[in-house]
Amino acid sequence: MHETRTMINTQNKIIIITAPSGAGKSTITHYLINKYPALSFSISAATRIPRGQEQDGVDYYFLSEEAFKQKINEDAFLEWEMVYEGKYYGTLRSELDRIWLAGKVPMLDIDVKGAIHVQQQFGDNCLSIFIEPPSVDELKKRLESRGTETPESLATRINKASYEISFSHRFTKSIVNDDLTKACEETERVIKDFLGW
């Protein structure tokens, strides 16, 4: 566990969307952020290389491993994880402050372990939604069709997914994504309830 001490005001609200990779959480997160200007995507720091059209400071703050470790030493992260072998991902405290200062609610798209750690720190001010793929087979098909995985990285993601699905009950709400439109609508309803909209 890589939870770090927090000085953040945990009265501020926070929304976490978590899921195994390929379950559709990024699509659902972006659907909501585009629809509600009061929700803001929390840009994580990561040490992997950008994929496709990804941009630094938009999709992630892409850091070298050295720069990432420097930030760990500075206690700059609310949470961080080595999500895949040798690849670090983390939520910067400064990112949440940036969003709260703008009067918005941060939406974190983070892995299951990171989500559990943030949830422990924020309690009732945190809404955590687990997006569940209909099955591991379906998840494998989706990741294959995305075409961004090597056979090795696909196998890693599938193994991790099976493990992560076993944690679905740890979150405020679990939503099965067997129909993307319905999953978006249900997530939207849960978020509106949480924010009292």
Q: Does 111 help bind ligand 5GP (rule: CB under 6 A)?
A: yes
User: In whole angstroms, what is the distance from residue 162 CA to residue 166 CA?
Assistant: 7
Q: Does 40 help bind ligand 5GP (rule: CB under 6 A)?
A: no
Q: Does 47 help bind ligand 5GP (rule: CB under 6 A)?
A: no
With CB under 6 A, what is the number of residues at the site for ligand 5GP? 13
User: In whole angstroms, what is the distance from residue 10 CA to residue 106 CA?
Assistant: 12
Q: Does 21 help bind ligand 5GP (rule: CB under 6 A)?
A: yes
Residue nearest ligand 5GP (C-beta atom): 114
Binding region for ligand 5GP (CB under 6 A) out of 77-85, 136-144, 174-182, 186-194: 77-85
* N-terminal to C-terminal alpha carbon distance within the chain: 34
With CB under 6 A as the contact rule, the residue among 41, 109, 158, 184 that binds ligand 5GP is 109
Closest to ligand 5GP by CB, 1 vs 101, is 1
Query: What residue has token string 């955590």?
Result: 128
Q: What's the Cα-to-Cα distance from 72 to each of 13, 50, 89, 94, 154, rounded to whole Å?
A: 24, 21, 11, 13, 28
Q: Counting Cβ atoms within 10 Å, is residue 64 exposed (0-12), middle (13-18) or buried (19+)?
A: exposed
| Smallest distance, ligand 5GP to C-beta of residue 187, A | 15
Q: Are strands 87-92 and 44-46 parallel, antiparallel or unpaired?
A: antiparallel
Closest to ligand 5GP by CB, 109 vs 132, is 109
Residue 71 token pair: 């930030």
Closest to ligand 5GP by CB, 21 vs 194, is 21
Q: Does 132 help bind ligand 5GP (rule: CB under 6 A)?
A: no
Q: Does 110 help bind ligand 5GP (rule: CB under 6 A)?
A: yes
Q: Does 24 help bind ligand 5GP (rule: CB under 6 A)?
A: no
E strands along the chain, which residues? 14-18, 39-41, 44-46, 60-62, 77-84, 87-92, 105-109, 126-132, 173-176
Report whether 162 contacts 140 (CB < 8 A): no
Q: Does 95 help bind ligand 5GP (rule: CB under 6 A)?
A: no
Give the interface with ligand 5GP as residue ranges (CB under 6 A): 21, 44, 48, 79, 81, 83, 89-91, 109-111, 114
